[in-house]
């Protein structure tokens, strides 16, 4: 495969089921199944560049301070310690992130305003929802790798999500994994045609 730009990689990954991408990575780098789309309806799709941050459980200071640094095409990936007693984001924070060009969130934590997030067409993948708001005291760590749903996410990795869940594509292997995932998808498409489904 000739050298692809980041935009081309993301566009082609976005056209694939996340399951095929996971298969292409030997079923590794697939985020814990407890982290799913929070939209009430099906159809959330996510593809972008990871910006990881690690926060204290139930605290979103690191999210507030990271959002102004986001660039178009970024996905904010948050290690929230798998804490589910507080929502780290809602529709107001999502709106601020969208204004920066952010294309979605993945949080190892809970969120709120799920209906609003779907109406905004802003994909958010998290452990669930709760109306309980967060604290904003810190500490947090940004700009380095973070563990989310048992997967280590480095800045610049590719983040993919759909109704099956989330996978992380290591940036340095993206072209290789894309080729394998596209081949897997083509083979499955052929199989479906042969069995008439």
Quote the pLDDT of residue 1: 45
151: part of which helix (H) or strand (E)? strand 151-153
**φ and ψ of 70, to 5 deg:** -70, 145
Quote the pLDDT of residue 194: 86
- Going from the first residue of the chain to its last (197 residues), give the mean pLDDT of each consecutive group of 10, the final group possibly shorter: 85 98 98 98 98 98 98 98 98 98 98 98 98 98 97 98 98 97 94 82
Of residues 149, 158, 122, 161, the one with CA closest to residue 18: 161
- Contact status, residue 63 vs residue 76, Cβ threshold 8 Å: yes
Cα 195 to Cα 8: distance, rounded to the nearest angstrom: 32
């Amino acid at each position: 495969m000739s050298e692809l730009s980041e935009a081309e990689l993301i566009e082609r990954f976005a056209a694939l089921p996340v399951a095929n991408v996971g298969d292409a990575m030997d079923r590794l780098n697939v985020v814990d199944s407890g982290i799913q789309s929070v939209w009430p309806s099906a159809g959330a799709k996510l593809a972008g560049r990871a910006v990881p941050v690690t926060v204290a459980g139930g605290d979103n200071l690191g999210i507030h301070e990271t959002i102004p640094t986001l660039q178009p095409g970024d996905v904010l990936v948050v290690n929230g310690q798998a804490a589910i007693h507080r929502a780290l984001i809602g529709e107001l924070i999502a709106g601020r992130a969208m204004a920066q060009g952010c294309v979605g969130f993945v949080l190892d934590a809970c969120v709120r305003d799920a209906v609003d997030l779907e109406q905004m067409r802003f994909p958010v993948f998290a452990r669930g929802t709760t109306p309980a708001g967060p604290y904003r005291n810190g500490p947090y760590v940004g700009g380095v790798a973070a563990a989310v749903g048992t997967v280590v996410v480095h800045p610049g990795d590719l983040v993919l999500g759909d109704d099956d869940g989330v996978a992380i594509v290591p940036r340095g292997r993206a072209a290789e994994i894309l080729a394998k995932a596209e081949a897997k998808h083509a083979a499955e498409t052929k199989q479906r045609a042969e069995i008439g489904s």
